[in-house]
Chains A and B, each alone.
Chain A
Amino acid sequence: MTDRLRVAVLFGGRSVEHEISVISALQLMMAIDPAKYEALPVYISPSGTWHTGEALLDRSFYSRVPSSLGGLVEVTLLPKPGVGGLTKVAGGGVIPVDVFLPAFHGQYGEDGCIQGLFEMAEVPYTGSNVPASAVTMNKYLCKMFLAAHGIPVLPAAVVERGDAQRNIQGVVASIAADPRFGAYPLFVKPCNLGSSIGVSRVEVPGDLAAALAKVFRYDTQALVEPCVSQLMEINVSVRDCNGAAPSVVEIPVSQSGVLSYEEKYMRDGGKKSGQSQGMASLTRIIDPPDLAAEIRDAVTSYATRSFRLLGCSGVARLDFIYDLAASAVYFNELNAFPGSCSFYLWAKSRPRVLYTELIDGMIQAALRSYSVVSSLERDIGLRALRT
């Protein structure tokens, strides 16, 4: 066990998806191959402090935050190369780390922020890099980028929080006049969040302001999209494995038509006290046998193309909408670090990929990528300053 790589699994963070990240990370650390890797849990508290310690592996720890943080070692990652790991805040010693595995959902962890810190510190890290993370986190930018490359997307408009605060009537009127949206209902959701937080289905124009206000509690940009009346959601995971490889597809099953946070992450809609296993506990049809091959192929093809075009790495999940009336597939969004790493899809894929192998693949890809980036020449000497 002495040759094991130490993998710092970072989770929590300053995002509304904080607890989903905790669930994903705890699950991931239970599946990481202990013969090859030593998982070092690193928890970023809601206030932004970084902590490590064995107690983080106990799920009950998190219900006692912040008082439980006292027993942990506070650490940080300095934004300079060559440190070799995490620096202890008290005393300044270094805890060696070989690879960083960010297991965040949402802002600061999945949007390029922490990836930027990894780049500054020049450490190997799993998942997508700064630009891919930043673009995929912003639903509008992502859709516009992919649309420019021929991937079908539904029309969308962005409402800035400031504009809405200044003139909500004007915003509502401009959306009502937008010919791309047609009749209500519309979907209104945060532009930079996942996990279905802040999502509303707006049935009449009079409800639009309330839906926007709900979004602006969490985000500074709201995305407005038409509502496909007869739709089927189809998700697929893609990972980089000698190129972009797709998993089997899934059809998540929703009781209300829109997957809520409770449906995604809490068993029985949160009515019972069972432990959530994150996205793995959602009701879904995996690899539906009666899904038409052309729909499945279209989704898979658009997904692998999108993954490559955006420059993603690691494991992503891409969500599509199938318009049953128009028989058309639309890209909806991309999760650069999906809940439960979408392992439940890979377990049913052909060839099957175990969660353990999925994590192994992410870490090995990170090391390969690091070795390529490290080999790039950065120092061209003084030229302009010398003259």
Chain B
Amino acid sequence: MPSWSLVCSWPIRHYEAMNSRAVPAGQELPPVNVRKLGSQGPTVVMLHGWGRSLGALLPLGELLSSSCRVILLDLPGFGLSPLPFGASNDGGGWSTKEYMARIHEVLAQEGVSRCILLGHSFGGRIAVRMAASFPSLVCGVVLIGSHGLRRERPLLQELRIRGIRLATGIAKRIDGVLGTRLFAHFLAPRFGSRDYKAAGELRKTLVRTVNEDLALEAQAIDVPTLLLWGENDSETPIDLAHSFQRLIAGSELHVFPRKGHEPFSDVGAHLLAGTIERFLSSRGLNVG
């Protein structure tokens, strides 16, 4: 595999773990694990989903690296990137603004002045915010099964969620006054999502980012944008893709039959790599 820099902060040992070792308050932000592939073409920065690591996007990155410089990174708190204090529960958690700022710093350190942002799921949230905030840095966006927009839910589902939120508020107040653990012992185990239950030290970050609606940011994106969705995506259903398409002017949507929330998994990486390369070429983004 060609490599324009063999620098890799740490060897890749495992891919899926969230890094719960929070760096103490007051210290500098911990380093971000970066892996770089490819020696020519435009720079593509790949941001993985919640609970994953750069390894999830590595096969796709490897395929793209024959025509692009690829930068994969473990988002702070995931994979081999330590958890910054601010992103921990004691630090109050990060929003996508803090993630964006940290990635912006990393890209500056890497000498990236222009790039295409590719974000999957949670990484898509960050990509949307970055594209809206740094139009001179971001010249193209690829969103794969991306979060970031508030979904219109069926009435019953909406009522259920509102009910859970109300109960959560009440339980936390009772816990605060009486010192009970109603929320932790009763509500969270029953009504918390899989991500919420597994979030550990990143729970506050999860709650902060999940509640963000980036519709305005999506609307502000003024660069070529490609939307890649699995037809059977149950985590970020296809209606989200259509919402993004309505909000982002000129965006191009490709739906992959029989694929789910990670359409790039297994040989799907080949399908997506070809689609991305054709998109970059058609929009004049295929040069470095």
Contacts and interface: CB of A to CB of B under 8 A. Distances in A.
Contacts of A57: 258
Interface string A345-372: 0011011101111000000000000000
Interface stretch (A26-34, A116-124, A166-174, A213-221): A26-34
Nearest to A348: B1
B70 to A, nearest CB: 13
B270 A34 contact: no
Contacts of B66: 350-352
A33 B274 contact: yes
Interface in A260-278: 277
A355 B266 contact: no
Contacts of A357: 270, 274
B23 to A, nearest CB: 35
A27 B258 CA distance: 12
A277 B266 contact: yes
Contact of B266 (A27, A351, A356): A27
A77 B272 CA distance: 34
A356 B63 contact: no
Interface in A324-360: 343, 347-348, 350-352, 354-357
Interface residues of A, number: 18
B177 interface: no
A341 B257 CA distance: 21
A30 B267 contact: yes
Contacts, number: 42
Interface string A30-58: 11011100000000000000000000010
A358 to B, nearest CB: 8
A30 B274 contact: no
A34 B274 contact: no
A31 B270 contact: yes
Contacts of A347: 62-63, 270
A97 to B, nearest CB: 18
Interface in A227-253: none
A30 B92 CA distance: 42
A343 B257 contact: no
A354 B270 CA distance: 5
Contacts of B254: 35
25 contacts: A27-B266, A27-B267, A30-B258, A30-B266, A30-B267, A30-B271, A31-B268, A31-B270, A33-B271, A34-B257, A57-B258, A277-B266, A343-B267, A347-B270, A348-B1, A350-B66, A352-B63, A352-B66, A354-B270, A354-B273, A355-B267, A356-B271, A356-B274, A357-B270, A357-B274
Given A30-B259, A351-B66, 8 more contacts: A27-B266, A31-B270, A35-B254, A348-B1, A350-B66, A354-B270, A355-B267, A356-B271
| The 3 residue pairs across chains A and B that have the minimum distance between CB atoms | A355-B270, A31-B267, A352-B66
Interface of A: 27, 30-31, 33-35, 57, 277, 343, 347-348, 350-352, 354-357
